[in-house]
Amino acid sequence: MSGARSAKALLAPWVDSAGLDETALAGLTMTSGEVVNGGLFMAVAGSVGHGLDYVDEAIAKGAALIAWEPTDDLETTQAIRQCEAAGVSMVAVPELARHAGAIAARYYDEPAASLHIIGVTGTDGKTSVAHGIATVLETLGVPAALMGTLGWGRVGQLTTDSLTTADAVTLQRRFAMLREAGVRAVAMEVSSHALAQHRVDAVPFDTAVLTHVGRDHLDYHGSVAAYRAAKRRLFTRPGLRRQILNIDDDLGAELATAADAPGDRLTYGRTEAADLQLLSAEPRPSGLMLTLRIHGLCRTSELGLIGPFNAMNALATLGAVLDGQPAETALEALARLQPVPGRMERFIAPGRPLVVVDYAHTPGALEAALQGVRPHTRGRLICVFGCGGDRDRGKRALMGDIASRLADEVRLTNDNPRGESPDAIIAEIQAGCRSGTPCQVEKDRHTAIQQAIEAAKPGDTVLVAGKGHEETQVIGQRVSRFSDRESVGALLTGEAG
């Protein structure tokens, strides 16, 4: 095994192997701060800087070797000098970002090869569907893990992480740990950033699932076309065995009819042409009653979740697990699904309004969330939300329009303004709000939620959108502890003032 982990084995394709060491490297990483003594640092070009900008830290941590990605405008003199002075070898690897995952996979002895990996992409619904798939697989007796916005690991035992899809090396390290832990299937969220940055190039997906594609992250991708192109990448990978496609969605419909696409395609949606068709999703006190047509056969199934999009997410989940499983068994497991924390999560207290905490932070998601809670609302619908700073500005007015159109009252507040002015963000949302709907502003999020709950009567619903499971509020450089779920829980039980 040590030979397989040596610089010679890992970097032979790019450098004369005679010059490379056969000693096992102690570790590998793409982040200078994580370099271990005797390890490999892979310095790649990023959107802000280059890994070589941090070579001093890598050397200080004891890097034995530095592989780096040449780019046109990269100034390497300083880094080369530092490495020479420290006696650290450097190897130039063209397009290293694309190869980093494969190098790490070799280092960890191809951990993903023994795992059944299901990738889920789309603008909204990735966490919900990945969570659903892993939970249903567990219920069906398959040791399954989850990787995504809520963390990674076995369902119910997640370790949190800052990214939805980790970097290419971290992913392989996690696959190795999951393989050791006896996991057989992994449901993972694949973000558009990850697809654009080659984080998943070395992940051998068995199945790719598409939720829906709307508008998000235009700050990063630049255009809807580039964003869609990034999402499309997951479905064109050679070796893919199955594709689960929402054909109510434009991109899903396009992928379903694409010539020469890899793997079998299973479609879902409300349209009659879908293999898994949603005929109806009737609101019930406990959630939804679904009527489905599965390959021509009509079936009903309870779902303990609310919001029509959760019915669609249930179909996506079903599509992924209907792989040699009888439909009855899969439907029974689906009926046991619980809401994902902060995703259409209901808070109910006697004599109080229904409060729903949801992670809707895109126009499509906000629209779907408001439409989803309306059938569970006898009285008025109040929507508390804001928009993140240093993120796509174009969505703000759109979300103002949607909230003022679909709610009876809007309360605008902070949602991680980050480096932007909270007032300016709120003004941009307000510019889209329709004048006929009352719209109030309270920047302090806890106070805004409190005022909304106090203004609401039993039978009304307060939808608190945008932060879902998050446990912090980021204002400028300050990160303070804040949770919509905790605020709502405390306010409903009278424990917070």
Ligand X SMILES: Nc1ncnc2c1ncn2[C@@H]1O[C@H](COP(=O)(O)OP(=O)(O)OP(=O)(O)O)[C@@H](O)[C@H]1O
Ligand Y SMILES: CC(=O)N[C@H]1[C@@H](OP(=O)(O)OP(=O)(O)OC[C@H]2O[C@@H](n3ccc(=O)[nH]c3=O)[C@H](O)[C@@H]2O)O[C@H](CO)[C@@H](O)[C@@H]1O[C@H](C)C(=O)N[C@@H](C)C(=O)N[C@H](CCC(=O)O)C(=O)O
**Partner whose binding site includes residue 301, from ligand API, Mg ion, ligand Y, none (CB under 5 to 8 Å by kind):** none
Measured between alpha carbons, how far is residue 383 from residues 115, 127, 132, 342 in Å?
A: 42, 22, 27, 15
Can you tell me which of 187, 369, 406, 488 binds ligand X, judged by CB under 6 A? Answer: 369
Instruction: Output 130 or 240, the one with its CB closest to ligand X.
Output: 130
Binding characters for ligand API, 376-415, by CB under 6 A (x = yes): ------------x--x-----------------------x
Chain residues 173-192 in contact with ligand Y, contact rule CB under 6 A: 191
What stretch of H or E contains 478? strand 478-481
**Partner whose binding site includes residue 467, from ligand Y, ligand X, ligand API, none (CB under 5 to 8 Å by kind):** ligand API
Q: Residue 42: beta bridge partners? A: 67
Burial status of residue 85 (CB atoms within 10 A of its CB: 0-12, 13-18, 19 or more): exposed
Measured between alpha carbons, how far is residue 75 from residues 54, 72, 197, 379 in Å?
A: 13, 9, 22, 63
Per the listing, tokens 């405390």 go with 490
DSSP result, 262-318 = SSEEEEEESSTT-SEEEEEEEEETTEEEEEEEETTEEEEEEES--SHHHHHHHHHHH
Our finding on whether 65 is near ligand Y (CB under 6 A) is no
At position 375, the amino acid (one-letter code) is P
Our finding on whether 127 is near ligand X (CB under 6 A) is yes
Count of residues touching ligand X (by CB under 6 A): 23
Can you tell me which of 29, 32, 139, 149 binds ligand X, judged by CB under 6 A? Answer: 149
164 is in an annotated binding site: yes
Instruction: Output 3 or 151, the one with its CB closest to ligand Y.
Output: 151
Residue nearest to ligand API (CB): 388
Can you tell me which of 101, 111, 125, 339 binds ligand X, judged by CB under 6 A? Answer: 125
Our finding on whether 116 is near ligand Y (CB under 6 A) is no
Can you tell me which of 127, 313, 404, 416 binds ligand API, judged by CB under 6 A? Answer: 416
Q: Which stretch binds ligand Y (CB under 6 A): 163-171, 252-260, 307-315, 325-333?
A: 163-171
The 8 Å CB, 24+ separation contacts for 448-454 are: 448/384, 448/411, 448/412, 448/413, 449/384, 449/413, 449/484, 449/487, 449/488, 449/491, 450/487, 450/491, 450/496, 451/411, 452/382, 452/384, 452/409, 452/411, 453/352, 453/353, 453/355, 453/488, 453/491, 453/492
Chain residues 460-479 in contact with ligand API, contact rule CB under 6 A: 466-467, 470
Our finding on whether 310 is near ligand API (CB under 6 A) is no
Our finding on whether 301 is near ligand X (CB under 6 A) is no
Our finding on whether 148 is near ligand API (CB under 6 A) is no
Q: Which stretch binds ligand X (CB under 6 A): 79-87, 272-280, 305-313, 413-421?
A: 305-313
Give me 282's structure tokens. Answer: 């009737």
391 is in an annotated binding site: yes
Chain residues 350-369 in contact with ligand API, contact rule CB under 6 A: 361
Burial status of residue 301 (CB atoms within 10 A of its CB: 0-12, 13-18, 19 or more): buried
Beta-sheet strand order (sheet of 89-92): 28-29, 40-43, 65-68, 89-92
Longest dimension (CA), the chain: 77
* Binding-site residue ranges: 32, 122-128, 164-165, 191, 197, 199, 391, 415-418, 466, 470
Interacting residue ranges for ligand X, rule: CB under 6 A = 122, 124-128, 149, 164, 189, 211-212, 309, 312-313, 343, 358-360, 364-365, 368-369, 468
Interacting residue ranges for ligand Y, rule: CB under 6 A = 30-33, 44, 46-51, 54, 163-165, 167, 191, 193-194, 220
